[in-house]
Amino acid sequence: MNKGILSGIGAYALWGFFPIYWKLLHNVPALELIGHRIVWSFLLLIAVVVITRQWSELRSTFNARTFSMYLIASLLIGVNWLTYVWAVNAGHIVETSLGYFINPLLSVLFGLIILRERLRPAQWLPISIAFIGVAYLTIKFGQLPWIALVLAFTFGFYGLVKKLAPLSSLNGLTLETAILFIPALAYLGFAEINGTGVFLHTGIIPDLLMIGAGLVTTIPLLMFASAAKQIPLTMIGVLQYLAPSIQFLIGVFMYKEPFDQSRLIGFSIVWLALIIFWVENYLASRMPVEPIPEMGEG
């Protein structure tokens, strides 16, 4: 097994086990926890950029257009992180996993609608089936699975912005956290002055875990960036289901979240869509590409 595959498995496995880490900080308000995640991530990323001497790329590509793109990306990832952490500590790990199961199909749909990409006819089938699964869960429980949809849409749009953005993964995330750094720091300062801050008031272990939020955010992203350079996109497509699968198992078996027959049916419909989606992608990637006729050929 090559280094790229190991890096990819490591990244998605760490993302999969995220709920356990955030559960250890269930007494910290979600907004304050996200504030620490942003602040410590930014400080760590700046250190990595300086040590690896990638500062020149960040400076050379910085302009108003770049800033506006990463401003949008930072708002999307901020909402995604806040929703995820709140949902995990509110007992909705299973629904968060649904969001990341849906996300790849949603990304394909964004490519069609926004980037004007052409879908292969067979790609419509899994998208339609996934829609049926979400509709079933909505009808059965009388409300949209909003946590899953917020996570899927924010991460889907985030991926779209990142696809169009000019910076590398490391420099891009550094700029995103830099944009959020001052508001996050200001909120943490306000919480401290207001007497609601948790940092330095509940013991050394929670403090270390809050500081560690920067590490657990940055390490899998750097591992993912390494994997993306070394292994095919099709392999990344297979590995990306590892994280929500682990989250789902943790929610059901470790934290005993409800998973009745109705949820099983709804999830099974989405899983069927993902299986069809993956098989279709695999078969399409195996098909020989027809040579482009040279100039003058009919």
pLDDT at 256 (0 to 100)? 93
Give the CA distances from residue 225 to residues 128, 218, 279, 288, 290, in Å, rounded to whole numbers and listed in that order: 31, 11, 25, 28, 31
Are the C-beta atoms of 16 and 243 separated by less than 8 Å? yes
pLDDT at 278 (0 to 100)? 81
Per-residue model confidence as pLDDT tens for the chain (298 residues): 578 888 889 989 999 999 999 999 999 999 999 999 999 999 999 998 888 887 777 777 778 888 999 999 999 999 999 999 999 999 999 999 999 888 888 877 887 788 777 778 888 888 899 889 989 988 888 888 999 999 999 988 888 888 788 888 788 889 999 999 999 999 999 999 998 888 988 889 999 999 999 999 889 888 887 787 777 666 776 778 889 999 999 999 999 998 999 999 999 999 998 888 888 877 877 766 444 444 344 4
What is the full DSSP assignment across 15-68?
Answer: HHTHHHHHHTTTTS-HHHHHHHHHHHHHHHHHHHHHHTT-HHHHHHT-SHHHHH
pLDDT at 293 (0 to 100)? 40
Q: Which two tokens stand for residue 67?
A: 């800033």
In 3D space, the residue among 87, 7, 36, 5 whose CA is nearest the CA of residue 215 turns out to be 36
In 3D space, the residue among 220, 155, 181, 201 whose CA is nearest the CA of residue 36 turns out to be 181
pLDDT at 234 (0 to 100)? 60
Are the C-beta atoms of 98 and 268 separated by less than 8 Å? no
pLDDT at 171 (0 to 100)? 86
pLDDT at 1 (0 to 100)? 57
Stated pTM of the model: 0.86
Residue identified by tokens 């409300």 is: 143
pLDDT in tens, 149-195: 999 999 888 888 887 888 887 888 899 999 999 999 999 999 999 98
